[in-house]
Amino acid sequence: MPSSNDFPSANGPRPSTPTFFNNSFLNLEPGNPTMYESYWKKMGDKCTVVIKGSELLSYMTDENNVCWFMLPELNDAIERLHRLVGNAVTDGKHVVVGTGSTQLFQAALFALSSSDDSPQPLNVVAAAPYYSEYREEVEFLQSKLYKWAGDAHVYDKDEPCIEVVTSPNNPDGTLREPVVKKAKQGKLIHDLAYYWPHYTPITHMADHDIMLFTFSKCTGHAGSRIGWAIVKDKEVARKMTRFIQMSSIGVSRESQRRAAKLMEVVCESYENVKHIKSENFFHHSKDMLTEKWVKLREVVEQSVVFSLQKYPEGYCHFTGEISEPRPAFAWLKCNNGIDDCESYLRGLSIIARGGKRFGADPKYCRVSMVGKEDQFNELLRRLSNVTGNSKNEH
Amino acid sequence: MPSSNDFPSANGPRPSTPTFFNNSFLNLEPGNPTMYESYWKKMGDKCTVVIKGSELLSYMTDENNVCWFMLPELNDAIERLHRLVGNAVTDGKHVVVGTGSTQLFQAALFALSSSDDSPQPLNVVAAAPYYSEYREEVEFLQSKLYKWAGDAHVYDKDEPCIEVVTSPNNPDGTLREPVVKKAKQGKLIHDLAYYWPHYTPITHMADHDIMLFTFSKCTGHAGSRIGWAIVKDKEVARKMTRFIQMSSIGVSRESQRRAAKLMEVVCESYENVKHIKSENFFHHSKDMLTEKWVKLREVVEQSVVFSLQKYPEGYCHFTGEISEPRPAFAWLKCNNGIDDCESYLRGLSIIARGGKRFGADPKYCRVSMVGKEDQFNELLRRLSNVTGNSKNEH
C-alpha cells in the first residue's frame, strides 16, 4: 500500500521497509536529505555539540527578543548565514524559530488570519503544482480562521487570500512569483526552503514579508526539526511566536544549539581563506547535485518513456557562476500514453509521489534527488532498464 | 503590565525582566523548573550528551513503531523509568513522543475528536481549578473538531465530551478522578505531568487510556520540549502520531537523545546499590521540595492574610514512606477580605497567576515552587514582611 504522504501512513498498515536490493522497493517518495550525511562525516569533530545535563533547562531563553524561546546564538548564526549566502535580507527584520518550517507555515497562517477582520475563513492558495502537504496542513484541524482554496492560478473569488509562494518550487524546482492578482491578494507567505546555492543560482536577495527556511533542506539535518521565519512586521512575528507558544511552548534548545553550531561551521569554512572552496558545504553539495542531475538527464534523454523539463540558466551571486538549477526533486514526466507515472514507477519498484498530490497531472511524479548515493544509482539503473525505454532500440 | 499567560505576552509590551533584588518584581508566575539545575550540575559529565555533525539527519527513525519519529532509545528509557517508579503501566501500550506535552494534549484532542461521528465540535472540559492553558490551547485555532466547554463540575450537556483529568492537579496539587458522569462522558485524557515521587506519593500504577507526561516537570528540562503519551489504543496512538507529523513532522532527535540519556542516568543511579539514596534524583528533589513546603507553611501559618490547604498523607510505593504531597505550585489563598490575590501579591512585587485564569476564585493565586532557591527565599521574605501579617502582632 502506498504511503498517502511524505511519511508512514497513519491510515493503514505501512509497507515493510523498502530497500533497494533484489528489486525490492526503492523509496524516493519523501525528500529525506540523507545525501548530506557523508559531508558531515568528513567534517569530523568540529561539528560535534556537547551539552551538559545542567544546561538549557529553562522555558525562557531571550526575553528581549520577540521570539523569546530562541537561543541568541541561533539568531546570530541564521543572520550570519544569510549574509554569507546573500539569499535573504535580514536587516531590520525579526527571526522566529520553529519546530521545522512546517510549524512556521501554520504559525504564519495563524498570524495572518487571526488579524483578518472577515468572519469567513481566509482562503489559502498556492499555484499548482504545489507542495503536497500544504493542503493537509491547512485542513487537518478544520480551523475557522483559514481554509484551503486550491490552485492559485484559478483563484477567482472576490475574497482576500493568503498565497503561498514556493521558490524554488517543490515539486518542480521552478522559480516562482505570486500569481493571484494584486486586487484580491491579501497576504503572502514565501516558502524559500530550497533557495540555497546548492539547489539554485542565488540571483537576488529575497526581501518579502514572511520568508520561511528550514535547516532540513539547507544542511540536511531534518531530524533536528529546526526552521526559521524572517518576518518584516513585528506584530506578525509576535503572533507567530504566540502560535508556537500555544502549540509547543517553544522549540528544542538542543536542536537550536546544534543548528547554530553547524551554521557557524559552514560560515567559518567560507571565511577561512585557506579552505578549498570545493570542500565547503554549499560548493560540495552543489557538485554532488550537479553530478546527479547530469547522470539523470543522460538516462532520461535516452528514454522514450520519461522526460524532464529544462531550467533556464542563472547567474549565482554566491558562487559567481552561471548554471542551471539542481533541484532537490526530479519532476519526472511519463510520455508514450502512460497516464499514471506513480503506478508506472511502482511497476519498476520505485516509490515516488504522484502528480495528483501536487494538484497536477498524474503523468508527473516527484522523485527525491537528496537521498544517498547508492539509492540514486539504483534509481538510474531501474530507469535505464525499462523495456522499450531506449530511443536507440530497434 | 502582567503577562497574560505563562510566558511573555504576545499582545503588548512585555515587562522588563523581573529580578528579585531591591524589591523589583519576583516572577513566580510560570512553573519554570530551574530548581533542578543544581542537581544536574552536581551529576557532572555522566549526563553530558555528545552529538556528531553526521548523526540524526533523517526524518524517519523507527519504521516499526507506530510513532515512527521516536528514537528507540527514548522509548526504552521511558518504559524503564516508569518501571522504576511504578507510576504508570506501559506494558502492551504505545508510547508517542511529542514536542512537550502541550503538543501531545492537542494531538490527543485531534485523535479523539476526529474519530467522533458528531458533526458538532466535541466539548472539552476540565474540573476547576484547571490548568490555565487548556482553554487557550483548545480555542486558539477555532477548530470545528473540538471546543472548550469549561468546568467539568457543571457540565450538563447531553453531548459527549473529552474530560481532561490532571492528577496531581495544576494549580492546586490535589489528586483527581473524572467528574463528568459516565453516561455523558465520552473520552478521557489523563495529564499526569506531576505524578512523580518528588511531588506526590506514588500510591498506584496509573492505567488509563491516554496518559500524558512531560520531561519538563519530571527532571526539569523544560527547554528540551519533550513530552510523551502512553496510549492504550493503537489507532489513537496512530492518530496522535499523525497530528505530530502534520504539526511539526516529528520531534527533535537531539532532545530525544538527551532525554533518553538523562532518564538512563536516573534509572542507573537507583539500580546502583552503592549509590546513596538521598543523592538520587527523585529522593534529592523530594527533599528539596519538602524543605520548601515546610518553610512556606511556617510563614503562612504565621500569617492572617494567607492560607494554604492541607493535603492528605499517602503511602508512596516508590519511596516506602508515608508523606504529604509536595506540589510544584502553592495554591495560595488570600483571606481578610482580600478579593484579588494576584493584585495583592503584585503589591508585594510578587508576580503569580491569579485564580481566575484557572476558572477559580480570584482569592487564589498559583505560585511556583520549582524556581531557584534564592527566588524562593525571597518569596518567603516578602510574604513574612506583610504589615499586619503575623498572627502574633498586637
- List, for residues A119-142, the tens digit of each pLDDT value: 899 999 999 999 999 999 999 999
Residue A97 to residue A357: CA distance in whole angstroms: 28
| CB burial readout B282-291, b (16+ within 10 A) else e | bbbbbebbee
Contacts of B226 (CB under 8 A, 6+ apart): A252, B74, B97, B98, B99, B100, B214, B215, B216, B251, B252, B255, B256, B259
**Is the CB of B241 inside 8 Å of chain A's CB atoms?**
yes
pLDDT of residue B390: 59
Q: In 10 A of CB B317, how many CB atoms?
A: 16
Task: Write down which residue in B270, B299, B329 finishes a domain.
Answer: B270
Query: Which residues in chain B have their CB less than 8 angstroms from residue A58's CB?
Result: 32, 34, 222-223
> Which DSSP string corresponds to B51-83?
E-TTSS--S-S-TTSSSTTS-HHHHHHHHHHHH
| Distance (Å, whole) CA A365 – CA A360 | 9
Q: Please indicate whether residue A118 or residue B194 has the higher confidence score (pLDDT).
A: B194
A222 CB neighbours in chain B (<8 A) are: 57-59, 249
In this structure, the answer to whether residues B194 and B235 fall within a common structural domain is yes
Give yes or no for residue B394 having a pLDDT over 50.
no
Element spanning A150, H or E: strand A146-151
User: Bigger pLDDT: A383 or A388?
Assistant: A383
Q: Locate the chain B residue with the closest alpha carbon to A243.
A: B140
Q: Are residues B192 and B71 in the same domain?
A: yes
Instruction: Report d(CA A88, CA A208) in Å as an integer.
Output: 9
**What percent of chain B has a predicted confidence (pLDDT) above 70?**
91
Structure-block grid coordinates of residue A381: 539503473
Q: Are strands A306-307 and A329-334 parallel, antiparallel or unpaired?
A: antiparallel
| A319 shares a domain with A196 | no
Residue A21 domain-assigned (yes or no): no
B139 located within any domain:
yes
Give yes or no: residues A367 and A304 share one domain. yes
Least CB–CB distance from B33: residue in A43, A50, A57: A57
Within an 8 Å CB–CB cutoff, is residue A13 touching chain B? Answer: no
Q: What radius of gyration do chain A's Cα atoms show?
A: 21
**Rounded CA gap, B83 and B69, in Å?**
23
Q: What pLDDT is stored for residue B169 in this prediction?
A: 98
- pLDDT confidence of residue A118: 78
- Domain extent, residue A198, equals 54-270
Q: Does the residue B2 lie in any domain?
A: no
Classify burial at A376, counting beta carbons within 10 Å of its beta carbon; exposed 0-12, middle 13-18, buried 19 or more. buried
Instruction: Suggest the residue from A16, A36, A54, A138 to mutate for an interface test with chain B (most B CBs closer than 10 A).
Output: A54
User: Which residues of chain A neighbour B133 with C-beta distances below 8 Å?
Assistant: 246
Size of interface A-B (CB pairs under 8 A): 249
Peptide bond into A8 cis (omega under 30): no
C-alpha closest to that of A237 among A228, A246, A224, A249 = A228
- Whether residue B98 contacts residue B251, with contact meaning beta carbons closer than 8 Å, is answered with yes
pLDDT, mean over chain A: 92
Asked whether the beta carbons of residue A249 and residue B140 sit closer than 8 angstroms, the reply is no
Exposure string over A174-191, b if 16+ CB within 10 A, otherwise e:
bbbebbbeeebbbbbbbb
Q: What is the pLDDT of residues A322-336, one digit of tens each?
A: 999 999 999 999 998
Residue B258 has pLDDT above 70, yes or no: yes
Partner residues linked to B122 by β-bridges: B146
Q: Quick one: average pLDDT of A58-84?
A: 96
Give the distance from residue B87's alpha carbon to the nearest chain A alpha carbon, in angstroms.
Answer: 24
Task: Return residues 97-126 of B near A (CB < 8 Å).
Answer: 98-100, 102-103, 106, 110
CA of B8, closest CA in chain A: separation in Å? 7
Look at residue A255 and tell me whether its pLDDT is greater than 70: yes
Grid cell 475574497 is found at A159
pLDDT, residue A185, reads 61
Q: Which pLDDT does position B118 carry in this prediction?
A: 78
Nearest CA in chain B to A236: B10
What share of chain B in percent tops pLDDT 90?
A: 84
Dihedral, CA of residue B102, residue B104, residue B108 and residue B114, to nearest 10? 100
In terms of Cβ atoms closer than 10 Å to its own Cβ (0-12, 13-18, 19+), residue A338 is: middle
| pLDDT of residue B1 exceeding 90 | no
Instruction: Please say which residue of A252, A270, A288 terminates a domain.
Output: A270
Q: How close A392 gets to chain B, by Cα (Å)? A: 39
Q: What is the mean pLDDT of chain B?
A: 92
Q: Tell if the CB–CB gap between B110 and A141 is shorter than 8 Å.
A: yes
Q: Helix A234-248 vs helix B100-114: angle between axes, to the nearest 10 degrees?
A: 70
Q: Residue B76: pLDDT above 80?
A: yes
Residue B19: pLDDT above 50?
no
Average pLDDT of the segment spanning A349-369: 97
Please judge whether A102 and B247 are an interchain contact, meaning their C-beta atoms are less than 8 angstroms apart: yes
Confidence of residue B21 (pLDDT cuts 50, 70, 90): low
CA distances from residue B132 to A220, B168, B237, B254, B369 in whole angstroms, order as listed: 38, 15, 26, 29, 17
- Residues 142 to 171 of B: which have CB under 8 A from any A CB? 142-145
Same domain, A200 and A96: yes
Long-range contacts of A314-317 (CB under 8 A, 24+ apart): A314/A200, A314/A201, A314/A203, A315/A201, A315/A203, A316/A197, A316/A200, A316/A201, A316/A202, A316/A203, A317/A86, A317/A202, A317/A203, A317/A204
Average pLDDT estimate for B332-342 = 96
Residues B293 and B222 in one domain: no
| Residue B157: Cβ within 10 Å count | 11
Side chain identity at residue A394, one-letter code: H
| A247 touching B (Cβ < 8 Å) | yes
Residues A61, B223: C-beta atoms closer than 8 Å: yes
End-to-end CA distance of chain A: 36
Torsion of CA A332, A333, A335, A340, to 10 degrees: 100
Higher pLDDT, B24 or A166: A166
3-state DSSP helix/strand/coil % of chain B, to nearest 5:
35, 20, 45
Q: Can you give the CATH number for the domain in which A338 is found? A: 3.90.1150.10
The answer to which of A25-34, A307-316, B152-161, B237-246 has the lowest mean pLDDT is B152-161
Q: Where are the alpha helices (DSSP H) in A172-233?
A: 215-218
Q: Are B186 and B332 part of one and the same domain?
A: no
Per-position DSSP letters for A7-76, written without gaps between them: SS-SSSPPPPPP--STT--EE-SS---GGGHHHHHHHGGGG-EEE-TTSS--S-S-TTSSSTTS-HHHHH
Q: Give dist(CA B266, CA A153) in Å, integer.
A: 57
Q: Does B121 have pLDDT greater than 60?
A: yes
SS3 A307: strand
pLDDT at A6: 47
Kindly state the cell numbers that stand for A374: 547508492
What mean pLDDT is predicted for residues A89-110?
98
Pair (B244, B311) in one structural domain: no
- Give the percent of chain A with pLDDT over 70: 91
In terms of Cβ atoms closer than 10 Å to its own Cβ (0-12, 13-18, 19+), residue B73 is middle
Q: How confident is the model at residue A243 (pLDDT cuts 50, 70, 90)?
A: very high
Is a pLDDT exceeding 70 seen at residue A3? Answer: no
Contact A220 B262 (CB under 8 A): no
- Per residue, what are the HEC states of B159-203? CCEEEEEECCCCCCCCCCCCCCCCCCEEEEEEECCCCCCCCCCCC
CATH at A243: 3.40.640.10
Does the pLDDT at position A18 exceed 50? no
Closest-CA distance of chain A to residue B122, Å: 13
Asked if residue A137 belongs to a domain, the reply is: yes
pLDDT recorded at residue B7: 53
| pLDDT score, position A12 | 39
pLDDT of A23 > 80? The answer is no
Rounded Cα distance, A158 and A184, in Å: 6
pLDDT, tens digit (0-9, with 9 covering 90-100), for A261-293: 999 999 999 998 787 888 899 999 999 999 999
Q: Is the pLDDT of residue B222 over 60?
A: yes
Rounded to whole angstroms, how far apart are CA atoms B142 and A144? 5
pLDDT beyond 50 at B34 = yes
Is there a contact between A207 and A214 (Cβ–Cβ < 8 Å)? no
Torsion of CA B35, B40, B41, B42, to 10 degrees: 110
Of A47, A137, A143, the CB nearest to B52: A47
- Residue B19 in domain: no
Contacting B residues, span 39-78, partner chain A, CB-CB under 8 Å: 40-41, 43-54, 56-61, 63-64, 68
**Residue with more model confidence, B5 or B47:** B47
**CA nearest neighbour of B256 among B64, B58, B85, B116:** B58
Q: Is residue A49 part of a domain?
A: no
Q: Are A315 and A353 contained in the same domain?
A: yes
Q: What pLDDT, on the 0 to 100 scale, is given for residue B22?
A: 54
Which residue type does A20 have? F
Strands A314-316 and A161-166: unpaired
CA distance A368 to chain B (A): 14
- In the chain, the amino acid numbered B253 is R
Considering the domain architecture, whether residues A59 and A164 belong to the same structural domain is answered as yes
Of B61, B133, B225, the CB nearest to A250: B225
What is the per-residue pLDDT for A181?
82
Report yes or no: B228 at the A interface, CB cutoff 8 Å. no
Residues of chain A with pLDDT > 90, as a percent, come to: 84
By C-alpha distance, the chain B residue nearest A119 is B142
Cα A122 versus chain centre, distance: 24
Is residue A48 one of the residues assigned to a domain? no
Start-to-end CA span in chain B (Å): 36
Crossing angle (nearest 10°) for helices A234-248 and B132-139 = 120
Q: Do B351 and B239 share a domain, yes or no? A: no
Binary contact (B141, A141; C-beta < 8 A): yes
B1 part of contact set with chain A, CB < 8 Å? no
Strand B161-166 and strand B146-151: pairing? unpaired
Q: Which of B254, B268, B370 to mutate to test the interface with A (most CBs of A within 10 A)?
A: B254
**Residues A63-98: b if buried by 16+ CB within 10 A, e if exposed:** eebbbbbbbebbbebbbbbbebbbbbbbeebbbbbb
> Is A231 in contact with A96 (CB distance < 8 Å)?
yes
Is the pLDDT reported for residue A389 higher than 70?
no
Residue A63: inside a domain: yes
User: What's phi and psi for B192, nearest 5 deg?
Assistant: -110, 35
Question: Does B57 contact A33 at a Cβ distance shorter than 8 Å?
Answer: yes
In sequence order, the 6+-apart residues with CB closer than 8 A to the CB of A154 are none
CB-CB neighbors (< 8 A) of B64 in chain A: 17
Select from B236, B270, B304 the last residue of a domain.
B270
Q: How many domains does chain B have?
A: 2
Q: Which residues in chain B touch residue A30, judged by CB atoms under 8 angstroms apart?
A: 59-60
Residues B332 and B299 both lie in one domain: yes
Q: Using CB atoms within 10 Å of the CB of residue B270, give its burial: 0 to 12 exposed, 13 to 18 middle, 19+ buried.
A: middle
